[in-house]
């Protein structure tokens, strides 16, 4: 393990299988037991944390951790802020190909739904995925995850949804599984995006296509252990609530969690369905009625906010004030995909969420750490800096967490650790 910039001079590079200490001028714990109304992020000034066997053993003020007789030495001396590793709650990361021509058309005023209806959009990515080998998909995903790690990310939700037939969807999910076995990359949470778009061979019959997915493809995916969650795109020009419900109910019966694309272009009732199924998240929500917001709040469903997509599509933000007032948990994802959010940068999404959506710095930091981890079923693994969690950390060359959400356009993480091992370091 190579020591990052800021490591104590002359110290050996720490290994995750031994005990070592990281000291930080400012440590953002995101630990609710340390939070308060005036400090929702649970910040510790002049802090230290102990890592043993890849897990966090102790966290506190430097003088508390490095007390006389502690027999501990500092391995990393972080001059900047240290945070939990970022958690990207919504990506379409296993894609290949480029939709740059389509992007140029949209930037010139072209309509996304019209582009999709003419054979662009998701179907264009379908053609690229179907033509790729499993090895090519896995290689593209691994490279993308490495770049995400360099931006401070230690966990990524990754969706299929570009294959649109059984073999190609499984090919995407198998690429996700292969990448997920690599401990040198961010940990990966696989989602089967079972209903994303209608392939040409379905001849326009959405209900029949959804029926095949529910009866045949989904049980096979579950039996193979290829997904933790199942997703569906419920919208005006996508799938209806009636078409999506059997698929998502089948997913729950098979023991899988549910995540739902809701209201990106119109509110067609997806929020109420997400609430009724106890979904982990309802994603997008640019269009959601007050009754949908109340249903999400009652069910404890998180709102996954995806500002890069609404930025590129020139959309108004979701009703943030209403979501906040209702107590809906707010999380922020990159939505990394080749069409509407052609980025791999969760920090960019955080910057846009602050600037365009009006979220506070604390809201976006929590929404990309503790709250995102909770929505992905990782609350007992990562998302905060507290004893018992894995040592998934980002060491930034920035003086304060406020600076993380500034639109740098360049990596500002000096070192990124997963399980106490460095997975990205900037020379």
Residues 108 and 78 in one domain: no
Do 199 and 166 meet the contact criterion of CB atoms below 8 Å apart?
A: no
Residues 184 and 326 in one domain: yes
Give the pTM: 0.94
Q: 64-69: which pairs have CB atoms within 8 A and are 24 or more residues apart?
A: 65/21, 66/21, 66/23
Q: How many domains does the chain have?
A: 2
Domain holding 73, by residue range, is 20-84+384-425
d(CA 255, CA 386): 29
Q: How many CB atoms lie within 10 A of CB 403?
A: 15
pLDDT-wise least confident of 96-100, 203-207, 271-275, 415-419: 96-100
- Walk across the sheet containing 86-88 and list its strands: 86-88, 153-159, 187-195, 229-234, 257-262, 281-284, 302-305, 330-332
d(CA 196, CA 84): 32
Residue 363: φ, ψ to 5°: -60, -45
Give the pair of three-digit tokens for residue 185. Answer: 């990359």
Give the pair of three-digit tokens for residue 8. Answer: 């104590």
Using H for helix, E for strand and C for coil, what is the string for 17-59? Answer: CCCEEEEEEEEECCCHHHCCCCCCCCEEEEEEEEEECCEEEEE
Residues 187 and 281 in one domain: yes
- Domain harbouring 45, CATH code: 2.30.40.10
Residues 139 and 111 in one domain: yes
Query: What are the pLDDT digits (tens) for 105-134?
Result: 888 887 877 776 666 789 989 999 999 999
Query: What are the pLDDT digits (tens) for 248-307?
Result: 999 999 999 999 999 999 999 999 999 999 999 999 999 999 999 999 999 999 999 999
Query: What are the pLDDT digits (tens) for 219-248?
Result: 999 999 999 999 999 999 999 999 999 999
In a domain, 42, yes or no: yes
Residues 238 and 345 in one domain: yes
Query: What are the pLDDT digits (tens) for 342-373?
Result: 999 999 999 999 999 999 999 999 999 999 99
In a domain, 216, yes or no: yes
In a domain, 5, yes or no: no
Residues 253 and 141 in one domain: yes
Residue 41: φ, ψ to 5°: -95, -5
Residues 319 and 187 in one domain: yes
């Amino acid at each position: 393990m190579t020591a990052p910039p800021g490591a104590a001079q002359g110290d050996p590079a720490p290994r995750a299988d031994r005990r070592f200490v990281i000291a930080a001028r400012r440590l953002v714990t995101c630990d609710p037991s340390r939070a308060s109304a005036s400090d929702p992020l649970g910040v510790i000034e002049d802090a230290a944390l102990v890592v043993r066997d890849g897990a966090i053993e102790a966290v506190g003020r430097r003088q508390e951790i490095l007390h006389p007789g502690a027999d501990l030495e500092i391995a990393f001396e972080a001059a900047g802020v240290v945070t939990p590793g970022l958690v990207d709650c919504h990506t379409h990361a296993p894609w290949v190909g480029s939709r740059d021509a389509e992007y140029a058309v949209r930037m010139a005023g072209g309509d996304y739904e019209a582009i999709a209806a003419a054979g662009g959009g998701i179907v264009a990515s379908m053609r690229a995925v179907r033509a790729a080998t499993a090895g090519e998909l896995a290689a593209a995903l691994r490279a993308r995850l490495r770049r995400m790690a360099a931006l401070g990310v230690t966990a990524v939700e990754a969706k299929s949804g570009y294959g649109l037939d059984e073999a190609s969807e499984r090919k995407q999910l198998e690429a996700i599984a292969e990448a997920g076995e690599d401990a040198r990359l961010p940990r990966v949470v696989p989602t089967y995006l079972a209903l994303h778009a209608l392939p040409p061979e379905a001849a326009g019959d959405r209900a029949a296509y959804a029926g095949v997915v529910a009866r045949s493809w989904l049980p096979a995916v579950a039996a193979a252990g290829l997904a933790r969650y199942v997703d569906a795109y419920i919208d005006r020009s996508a799938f209806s609530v009636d078409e999506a419900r059997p698929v998502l109910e089948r997913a729950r019966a098979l023991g899988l969690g549910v995540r739902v694309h809701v209201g990106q272009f119109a509110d067609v009732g997806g929020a109420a369905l997400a609430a009724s199924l106890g979904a982990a998240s309802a994603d997008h929500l640019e269009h959601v009625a007050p009754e949908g917001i109340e249903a999400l709040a009652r069910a404890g469903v998180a709102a996954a906010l995806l500002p890069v997509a609404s930025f590129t599509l020139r959309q108004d933000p979701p009703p943030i004030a209403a979501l906040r007032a209702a107590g809906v948990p707010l999380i922020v994802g990159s939505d990394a995909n080749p069409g509407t959010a052609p980025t791999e940068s969760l920090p960019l999404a955080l910057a846009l969420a602050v600037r365009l959506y009006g979220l506070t710095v604390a809201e976006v930091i929590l929404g990309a750490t503790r709250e995102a981890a909770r929505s992905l079923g990782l609350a007992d693994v990562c998302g905060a800096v507290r004893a018992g969690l894995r040592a998934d950390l980002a060491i930034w060359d920035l003086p304060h967490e406020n600076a993380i959400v500034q639109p740098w356009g360049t990596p500002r993480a000096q070192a990124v650790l997963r399980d106490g091992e460095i997975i990205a370091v900037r020379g």
